[in-house]
Copies of this chain bind each other. A is one copy, B any other.
């Protein structure tokens, strides 16, 4: 079984006008994606932001649930948040994963947009079930991952399709569906 990691990038991502920006960290993204990670056997979930203050803020929230008043208030939240790691950028997460596993992770970007050569959920699921290098699933905030990320990844996962043309899920919902599909088949 290959190790699975998750990363949520707050930079470089697009805003609605197509400009590359840094988004703010959303508290519920951290909680929801940590719970999804714990549920579906993700080894660690990287919250990546270049903004020191925001990393410190998230670190404080994590401390609250790990050792502060939250630790006894809600154990399932503590268990989930124990998977969260902070990184200034994608490369820092990659380096840490390489240090931990001894191998560079394969980078798999997610996108709401289709395109040529998208990797199917079935193909990635099969890869995860076989021995191999760690896989790092990369999610973007805002209006999605900037081209500079899309161009350097090894794979782009196929988009989640609904019943019509509308495909504007929150990143929290998209991450839940992607992990469920990768672990529970389809």
Interface residues in chain A, defined as those with a beta carbon under 8 Å from any beta carbon in chain B: 16, 28, 31-32, 35-36, 38-41, 74, 76-77, 79-80, 160-164, 166-170, 172-177, 180-181, 183-186
The verdict on A166 contacting B28 (CB below 8 Å), with A160-B180, A173-B176 known, is no
The verdict on A32 contacting B186 (CB below 8 Å), with A163-B41, A176-B177 known, is no
Minimal Cβ-Cβ distance residue in B for A80: B168
Minimal Cβ-Cβ distance residue in B for A77: B168
Minimal Cβ-Cβ distance residue in B for A33: B173
Given A176-B177, A180-B180, A180-B181, output 7 extra A-B contacts at Cβ < 8 Å.
A32-B173, A39-B163, A39-B164, A40-B163, A41-B164, A160-B180, A161-B184
Q: What CA separation (Å) do A173 and B141 show in the bound complex?
A: 16
A162 touches B41 (CB 8 A): yes
Q: Which one, B38, B74, B177, contacts A180 given CB within 8 A?
A: B177
* B residues in contact with A39, CB < 8 Å: 160, 162-164, 166-169
Please name the 6 residue pairs, one residue from A and one from B, whose CB atoms are nearest each other, closest first: A39-B162, A173-B176, A41-B163, A76-B168, A176-B176, A177-B180
Q: Which one, B79, B166, B176, B180, contacts A166 given CB within 8 A?
A: B79
Q: Which one, B41, B161, B177, contacts A177 given CB within 8 A?
A: B177
